[in-house]
Amino acid sequence: MKIGPAWWGAVARRAVGGGGFPPADHFNPPGAVRRYVGAAREGVVLRYAAFDALPLGISRAANATDTQRQVRAGQQHGGRLKGSPVPRTRGLTAMNMHIHSENMVQTIGALEQYIQRPIPDAKVIRHLAKKHPMRITHYYLDLIDWDDPKDPIRKIAIPSLGEQKRSGTFDTSGEHVHTKFRGFQHKYRQTALILTTNRCAVYCRHCFRKRLVGLVDNEVVVDWDEVVAYLGAHREVTNVLLSGGDPLILATDHLEDILGRLARIPHLRYVRIGSRIPVVLPDRILDDDPLHEAFKAFASGGKQLYVTTQFNHPRELTTTSIRSVKRLQEDGVIVNNQTVLLKGVNDCPSVMAELQAALARAGVIPYYVFQCRPVTTVMDEFQVPLHDACQLIDEARKQLDGLSKRFRFVMSHLTGKIEILGWSDGGIYAKYHQTNRPSLHNKLFHKRLGKDVGWLDLGG
């Protein structure tokens, strides 16, 4: 079937004309991803059921209408991924409606329009957002106090001039070295990590995968048969971390399929989903009954499902985000949190303490606080020196009860995951928490450092 204006026009008329969505099979034309027509505006406006299906590098500046760009998107990313039984034929859910461009801001112009005020240095910011895309949900934008130029949520979401500094690297923990095949990493013996998408609801400016989020998809898994075969042959792998990008931006039937495949691997004990969706788009969780059916089905198979969130500031713990966490917990999901220590966001002991206490109060396990990695465009803008970081963590812990200070302060280093125990004798005391090098297992060490150093030079 040729997808032309007449086809889409007909679908649009059906949708707008009160007939609801077209039948499911209309969402699966050859060469197109699932989509639906929400309204007719200058022809057809397409909304995507799942943003993971959007093409890479669509330039808003490109000389094309939204319709043309998005039709092209569907044609480029159509079809089924190898080994993926995801047919993308199920009807759309309320959840999917949250994940479309009308609920997100992706250009500086749209941002200025949404907040009804100009963005300072808009020309440079626009240029930076072309290098590392900007995407922010309306929900998350509404948490920002625009009268405060140092608002912490603004710093997480809006590109800033600091991104012009280019120190650091784009792969700070050796992800390429540990990639076994496209989208699949095996660094630590018991844990496999899968890059399920390069898309997120919000592109955090501090992201350590800036090399790929919103940009290229050449590190995203394509062959799920290969994943299952590898896991089946590696009985030492007891758990899988679904990462990205944000896996919860995937269409629900895609997630359901992934979980179904993993559920059938007998030696896996649990699966983790790393996601900021509860933080930046909680309605995606609250409004999607099929998602909860999928999670409950996975739990009923005897394996544990975890969602690892990333709350970085107490203001992110809104009533709605906490409701989304509770909803996950009702499904039998254990929710834990990994905060990233970020300059200008949470580098204050009372803010860090308030955050960890609020997480514990919400029933979220404070799992890790991560030292910000020396990522290009991130390091200078967000990294706190280790000396200051250790003092800050110590001060925050003083303000916390036992459950609230369960977190470990760690860094994901090339050599492994290192727990930073504290600063003394002119440097840090640290201990290997995870590593694939036998000589480093549980190794306790001291490293003398300058007070302005933010990362450990331990060799590769």
Binding site for ligand SF4 (CB under 6 A): 200, 203-204, 207, 209, 213, 244-246, 276
Residue 12 or 248: which CB sits closer to ligand SF4? 248
For the CB of residue 302, give the shortest distance to ligand SF4 in the complex, in Å.
29
Residue with smaller CB distance to ligand SF4, 51 or 432: 51
Q: Least CB distance from residue 206 to ligand SF4, whole Å? A: 7
Q: Minimal distance in Å, beta carbon 438 to ligand SF4?
A: 31
Angle between helices 224-233 and 252-263 (to 10 degrees): 20
Closest approach, Cβ 198 to ligand SF4, in A, equals 9
Q: Which is nearer to ligand SF4, 29 or 244 (CB)?
A: 244
Long-range contacts of 67-74 (CB under 8 A, 24+ apart): 67/8, 67/42, 67/43, 70/35, 70/46, 71/3, 71/8, 71/32, 71/46, 73/33, 73/48, 74/3, 74/31, 74/32, 74/33, 74/35, 74/46
CA 172/CA 410 separation, integer angstroms: 14
Of 56 and 458, which CB lies nearer to ligand SF4 in the complex structure?
A: 56
Q: Min. distance of Cβ 154 from ligand SF4 in angstroms?
A: 15
Contacts of 384 (CB under 8 A, 6+ apart): 341, 342, 343, 347, 371, 372, 392, 454
**In angstroms, what is the minimal distance from the CB of 85 to ligand SF4?**
25
Minimum distance between the CB of residue 105 and ligand SF4, rounded to whole angstroms?
15
**Cα distance between residue 298 and residue 303, in whole Å:** 7
Residue number with CB closer to ligand SF4 (71 or 291): 291
Is-contact 98 50, C-beta < 8 A?
Answer: no
Q: What is the Cβ-side half-sphere exposure of residue 394, based on CA atoms within 13 angstroms?
A: 12
Minimum distance of ligand SF4 from residue 201's CB (angstroms): 7
Q: At what angle are helices 122-131 and 108-115 packed, to 10 degrees?
A: 130
> Of 26 and 219, which CB lies nearer to ligand SF4 in the complex structure?
219
Q: Are 429 and 390 in contact (CB under 8 A)?
A: no
Q: Residues 248, 255: contact at Cβ < 8 Å? A: yes
Instruction: Give the residue with the Cβ less far from ligand SF4, 168 or 427.
Output: 168
For residues 379 and 372, the answer to whether their CB atoms sit within 8 Å is yes
Residue 139 or 432 having the CB closest to ligand SF4: 139
Q: Where are the alpha helices (DSSP H) in 200-266?
A: 224-233, 252-263
Q: What residue type is 45 in one-letter code?
A: V
